[in-house]
Amino acid sequence: MEHSTYQKLMIAAADLLRQKGYAATGISDILAQANVTRGSLYHHFPGGKSDLAVAAARYSCSQLVKHIETACEVARTNGGDFHDAMVELCKRVYQLFEEHGNWRFLTVSATLQEGGERNAFFSNEARALYARLKSKAVEEGATFGLSERDSFMALRKALLLVEGGWMLARVVDDPMPIRSSIQFMEEEKQVYRYRKQLGLSCPPFDTEIDPLF
Amino acid sequence: MEHSTYQKLMIAAADLLRQKGYAATGISDILAQANVTRGSLYHHFPGGKSDLAVAAARYSCSQLVKHIETACEVARTNGGDFHDAMVELCKRVYQLFEEHGNWRFLTVSATLQEGGERNAFFSNEARALYARLKSKAVEEGATFGLSERDSFMALRKALLLVEGGWMLARVVDDPMPIRSSIQFMEEEKQVYRYRKQLGLSCPPFDTEIDPLF
DNA sequence: ACAGCGCTAGACCATTCGGTCTAAACCACT
DNA sequence: AGTGGTTTAGACCGAATGGTCTAGCGCTGT
């Protein structure tokens, strides 16, 4: 067997949680998908469902980090910049979305949204995961000569677009919204270039944001 | 009492569904929030939970239509264009998010995501609601002299950003991501203007999208 | 061969879920 | 006041949920 029981559970949970969200995903669903029995689950994840959800979210997050990495590599070999990498990232999401029945992708948020008692705990976990993404983006952005702020903003925009697109795509059951996130991310690239062409620096926004997720 | 029982249920459901999603929201939660008993619910909504969810989603959608309307009015009186209106829309989301405990806003998608049997039914409903938003945007965009395509794209971008930002904000329990959607929407405006300044038309994208949601 | 232990199987439990049902309350109209 | 339909109250139900528990499997070291 390729995967250990632990991994099988984690992957199955990640898939299902992304697809249906925390509350809608039953333990039994996960067990069926992973081909594992209850006893094993509570052996590997004593905390039960929430324990498993955290593991799944971390797994999804590290997958995303890898996607960012390879997107940057692709951009680099094509002579592109960090914004190209983010466009590439959106493209990969779209492709994965189309290929794998739809859902085999990231979206930490879908995995950890709950709204009940565990909310504070889950929020902290989510914050930690997004911080991980941020530091990855800053690190990669730096290799493209981007400031911390610029790379963070580019990542954040990509995430907003992808999460939003993914959410819409899920609810209307059509991948098109995700696809359009690619376009919007390309605009980010364009605006960056237009500014250079026009010799402009980044204009002030009405609302400035602080650097934390 | 201001609201009818029907309205109380619908509004309570809309609030809770946006906050926690379909599966995580219990009938009892809704009843408690609306201060209504079970019998009344099944009298007004014979289809039960899903029936109520559809009504809530429609309600949320019409709220959003109104927000688009007033955002356009604000932009018009300030001498802005349709993109300013979309920026204004994002701002309003952010404000509402901050004011009303957080959640008193739209997001049709959160209301209707399910993943189970009712999925096809809910997807159709969601498509219809987004189509309504689209036609509203096209109508308003036309008064600003925007093409159907341009206004639709602007709306879609705003929706992706807001939904994505809202999702992230919900999961990390911090309104900042929604706030940054304002910035990104302002960029849309800029790119539009830069293009005019540079005498460019909208450049071709790698991936063209079709006009349906 | 056997003892020890990590792991699995699946029966079992309490609780909660969405939904049903009936009796009472309410209200308009005569 | 009486009548008939609409609306509300809340006890009740079966199904499903997350979680527990024990018996036993199968591997490893002796």
Domain limits, chain A: 60-197
- Please tell me the predicted confidence (pLDDT) of residue A71: 96
The residue of A160, A189, A205 whose CB has the most chain B CBs within 10 angstroms, and thus the best one to mutate to test that interface, is A160
Statement: residue B38 has pLDDT above 70: yes
**Residue A160 to residue B188, Cβ atoms within 8 A:** no
Q: Tell me, what's the pLDDT at B208?
A: 47
| Listed residue (B38, B49, B64, B66) closest to B10, CA to CA | B49
Count Cβ atoms below 10 Å from residue B71 Cβ, excluding itself: 24
The gap from C-alpha A136 to its chain's centroid, in whole angstroms, comes to: 12
Query: Does the pLDDT at position B184 exceed 70?
Result: yes
8 A C-beta contact, residue B158 and residue B90 = yes
Stretch (H or E) spanning A53? helix A49-77
Q: Which nucleotide is nearest to B36 (CA to C1')?
A: D8
Which of A136-140, A165-169, B16-20, B198-202 ranks highest by mean pLDDT? A136-140
Number of Cβ pairs closer than 8 Å across A and B? 196
Nucleotide nearest to B41 (CA to C1'): D8
pLDDT band at residue A21, thresholds of 50, 70 and 90?
Answer: confident
- Judged against a pLDDT cut of 90, whether residue A87 lies above it is answered with yes
Does residue B84 surpass a pLDDT of 60?
A: yes
* Distance CA B112 to C1' D14 in A: 26
pLDDT digits (tens, 9 = 90+) for B119-131: 788 999 999 999 9
At residue B169, what is the residue type?
A
The ipTM is 0.87
C-alpha–C-alpha distance, residues A184 and A159, integer Å: 12
- Please state the rounded mean pLDDT for residues A79-83: 92
The per-residue pLDDT for A186 is 87
- The model's pTM is 0.89
pLDDT value for B211: 45
Query: What string of H, E and C letters represents the secondary structure of chain B?
Result: CCCCHHHHHHHHHHHHHHHHCCCCCCHHHHHHHHCCCHHHHHHHCCCCHHHHHHHHHHHHHHHHHHHHHHHHHHHHHCCCCHHHHHHHHHHHHHHHHHHCCCCCCCCHHHHHCCCCCCHHHHHHHHHHHHHHHHHHHHHHHHHCCCCHHHHHHHHHHHHHHHHHHHHHHHHHCCCHHHHHHHHHHHHHHHHHHHHHHCCCCCCCCCCCCCCCC
Higher pLDDT, A136 or A203: A136
Instruction: Note the pLDDT of residue B207.
Output: 47
C-beta of residue B167 within 8 angstroms of C-beta of residue A113: yes
Report, as an integer, the average pLDDT of A47-72: 94
More confidently predicted of B71 and A118: B71
- Is A208's pLDDT higher than 60? no
Helix H, strand E, coil C: the string for A71-140 is HHHHHHHCCCCHHHHHHHHHHHHHHHHHHCCCCCCCCHHHHHCCCCCCHHHHHHHHHHHHHHHHHHHHHH
Residue A211 has a pLDDT of 45
